[in-house]
Amino acid sequence: MIIASRWSSSKGKVRCCATPRAANASTGYQGCGTSISATARAELADAASAQMRRIAFASAYIGATNEPAVRLAEKIVGHAYPNSAAVYFTTAGAESNESAFKFARYYWKIKDKPEKTKIISRIHAYHGVSLAAMSATGMAAYHKMFGPLVPGFIQAAPPYAYRWAGNEEPGIGAADAVEKAYSRRGPAIPLPRSSPSR
């Protein structure tokens, strides 16, 4: 991975990053909420600009939509699993997770099981900056200044072979941890004070 020392642009073309060793280095960095892969492409900027001139704002909430979203959804469904019939667009990972939590609650309510609200995630897993997504995040450092967390979120051990503390194979042990979290009632499992460095 290349760590950028500065962002720069030259003659209308944006260089991904400039480093002390290379005047113009390209990178496909993906981090928490950041993706610069395939950015600074003129055709993407032109398409976004043209669309914003046609429609300045569009909501996908409560059944509203717009023509480009419909066309893209049809294309995605055409490439997805045969039983896929719809697409729900979100703007980022935290919103995607929040939507998934809400879909799960909605599903269990229409199945007459409204008490099924437990969300199980993995220790050391990052899920986003919103309150429910942070509650699913299995890193105690992210919780410290924002608690109390949303009730019903439980973290289970990940199949992380490098730091596995159990005697069994990590995948088996992690599956057992999820099964125990699923059947357990009560508050979430306390998280370790430190998360592994990445």
Say if residues 117 and 152 touch (Cβ distance below 8 Å).
yes
**pLDDT above 50: residue 146:** yes
Say if residues 59 and 88 touch (Cβ distance below 8 Å).
no
Per the domain annotation, does 82 fall within a domain? no
| Alpha-helical regions (H) of 58-159 | 67-79, 93-110, 131-136
pLDDT (0 to 100) of residue 197: 41
Say if residues 143 and 155 touch (Cβ distance below 8 Å).
no
Percent of the chain with pLDDT over 70: 73
Per the domain annotation, does 60 fall within a domain? no
Per the domain annotation, does 166 fall within a domain? yes
Percent of the chain with pLDDT over 90: 30
pLDDT (0 to 100) of residue 8: 41
Say if residues 61 and 89 touch (Cβ distance below 8 Å).
no
pLDDT (0 to 100) of residue 51: 86
Say if residue 148 is preceded by a cis peptide, omega within 30 of 0: yes
Model confidence over 123-139: pLDDT tens digits?
Answer: 889 999 899 999 999 99
**pLDDT above 50: residue 85:** yes
Would you give the distance in Å from CA 49 to the centre of its chain?
A: 26
Domain count, the chain: 1
Per the domain annotation, does 155 fall within a domain? yes
**pLDDT above 50: residue 179:** yes
What mean pLDDT, rounded, does the chain reach? 77
Per the domain annotation, does 105 fall within a domain? no
> Which residue range(s) make up the domain with 175?
114-183
Backbone angles phi, psi at 82, to 5 degrees: -60, -30
Q: What is the pTM of this model?
A: 0.67
Per the domain annotation, does 125 fall within a domain? yes
Per the domain annotation, does 120 fall within a domain? yes
Per the domain annotation, does 38 fall within a domain? no
Model confidence over 100-128: pLDDT tens digits?
Answer: 999 999 999 999 999 999 999 998 899 99
